[in-house]
Amino acid sequence: MKRRGILNAHLSEVVATLGHTDQLVIADCGLPVPPDVPVVDLALVHGVPTFAQVVAALADELVVQRLTVAEEAVHHNTDALEVLRSAFPEVPLDRVPHEQLKHELPMVRAVVRTGEASPYANVILECGVPF
């Protein structure tokens, strides 16, 4: 049995296979995911697990070199932005229109679906390297 870290077997496998510049999305429960993109569905009910909980768990496991969020979050979900800035204080944060963020989804390695039910609680994490 693992001593610490991510216990979800599917999510742990996805994290272990990520390489430099690969992208992983943490999504609210409503983000439409293209059919060919793998989904690690953690959602149980609205609000469980939260966006913040999943961000914290992945921040502890991943080297991230860039974040991309919907620019609409600036006005409609400042809490999600604060969660990201707290978890990744040194990482550049790009803002794009929500429609553009959705158009980038076919190129990501996987989407982690949370139970988050607040608007624009989505982020594309671009993996870095620890050296």
Q: What is the pLDDT along the chain (131 residues), one digit of tens a residue?
A: 889 999 999 999 999 999 999 999 999 999 999 999 999 999 999 999 999 999 999 999 999 999 999 999 999 999 999 999 999 999 999 999 999 999 999 999 999 999 999 999 999 999 999 99
With tokens 């429609």, the residue in question is 99
Positions marked active-site: 20
| Domains, the chain | 9-127 (3.40.1650.10)
